[in-house]
Amino acid sequence: MSIQWYPGHMRKARRAIAEAMPSQDVVIEVLDARMPRASENPVVTELRGPKPCVKVLTKSDLADPDVTRAWLEYLERRVDGPGAHPAGKVVALAVTTDRASDARTRITEACGALAVPTRGRTTARAMIIGIPNVGKSTLVNTLAQRKVANVGDEPAVTKSEQVVKMKNGMMLSDNPGILWPKIEDPTAALRLALGGAIPDAALDYEGVALFGAGVFLGRYPELLAKRYKLTTMPADAEALLLEVGRRRGCLRSGGTIDRHKAADVLIHDFRDGALGRISLERPEE
């Protein structure tokens, strides 16, 4: 499944980010801790060029902690290693559940270590960019210590740039989430879809749920057993989807399983963390 979802506001946002980039001192690139590779947008890599960059892995409260540790090591090595990005830091955060002051300290320290304000300014300008629905605006509110940006659990909540000032003077620019015109890698597209970066209306919903079911069965069967009270593990993704439908009463008249409803249950149990802490990819893959 390749996914194409590149609405007009995204095209505009990409242009606006390119125009604003030269005046920025540091880029905060927001990645999804459950899939740091799939959520690393090649357009963002191109747009930020050689700017110093702090990579923030959000939603780490939803990700498998061991896998997140492995990602941090991997990304730090990539940042420091030969041929790597010249100036970078990596931070993993659970923006909605960590203590806000900790998140602020870690990000401001990381930015402070990298960003030298240019052109006679005394405070740095930081631009926050990443894929849709990854938690950019939530991070802006946490850093600014007030609710300045709208947040919501769907892609494309932020439609244009918003600049806010932190108490320490640093200027933060929140931006609309951007994807790239055609996501060719089908596995990456499915991970992004499952994680909520693409509107459900643009998806083959059952296909996304079956993909998730396969990952959960392969790597987190104990979480499935607990959540759905399974005594034996379904043989494959298809069987799991039907079993979830049966257990959750997703039935059509006549008693057949409503596959769309069952897909909805499975996808949202993953997104909300009700299934447990799950990572969709590992650095060594």
For ligand GTP, the binding residues in 121-140 under the rule CB under 6 A are 132-138
Residue 251 interacting entry, from Mg ion, ligand GTP, none, C-beta within 5 to 8 Å by type: none
The token duo for 31 is 């990645």
Residue 95 interacting entry, from Mg ion, ligand GTP, none, C-beta within 5 to 8 Å by type: ligand GTP
Residue 245 interacting entry, from ligand GTP, Mg ion, none, C-beta within 5 to 8 Å by type: none
Distance CA 160, CA 229 (A): 44
Instruction: Pick from 66, 80, 153, 222 the residue near ligand GTP by CB under 6 A.
Output: 153
52 versus 155: smaller Cβ distance to ligand GTP: 155
For ligand GTP, the binding residues in 181-240 under the rule CB under 6 A are none
Instruction: Pick from 79, 157, 164, 217 the residue near ligand GTP by CB under 6 A.
Output: 157
Q: Does 175 bind Mg ion (CB under 5 A)?
A: no
CA angle 263, 267, 272 (to 5 degrees): 145
CA angle 209, 258, 4 (to 5 degrees): 40
Sheet strand arrangement including 162-165: 88-92, 53-58, 26-32, 125-130, 171-174, 162-165
Residue 162 interacting entry, from Mg ion, ligand GTP, none, C-beta within 5 to 8 Å by type: none
Instruction: Pick from 94, 107, 129, 190 the residue near ligand GTP by CB under 6 A.
Output: 94
Q: Does 158 bind ligand GTP (CB under 6 A)?
A: yes
Residues with Cβ within 8 Å of residue 192, at least 6 apart in sequence: 3, 35, 38, 39, 131, 179, 183, 198
Distance CA 90, CA 140 (A): 17
Residues with Cβ within 8 Å of residue 80, at least 6 apart in sequence: none
DSSP code per residue over 83-145: TS-SSEEEEE--TTTS-HHHHHHHHHHHHHHH----TT-SS-EEEEEESTTSSHHHHHHHHHT
Residues 123-162: x where in contact with Mg ion by CB under 5 A, - otherwise, as a string: -------------xx-------------------xx----
131 versus 189: smaller Cβ distance to ligand GTP: 131
Instruction: Pick from 36, 52, 88, 177 the residue near ligand GTP by CB under 6 A.
Output: 177
Instruction: Pick from 152, 181, 186, 249 the residue near ligand GTP by CB under 6 A.
Output: 152
Residue 133 interacting entry, from ligand GTP, Mg ion, none, C-beta within 5 to 8 Å by type: ligand GTP
For ligand GTP, the binding residues in 43-72 under the rule CB under 6 A are 58-59, 61-62
Q: Does 108 bind ligand GTP (CB under 6 A)?
A: no
CB of 157 to Mg ion, least distance (A): 5
| Cα 102 off chain centre by | 20
Binding residues for ligand GTP, rule: CB under 6 A, are: 58-59, 61-62, 94-96, 132-138, 151-153, 155-158, 176-177
Binding residues for Mg ion, rule: CB under 5 A, are: 136-137, 157-158
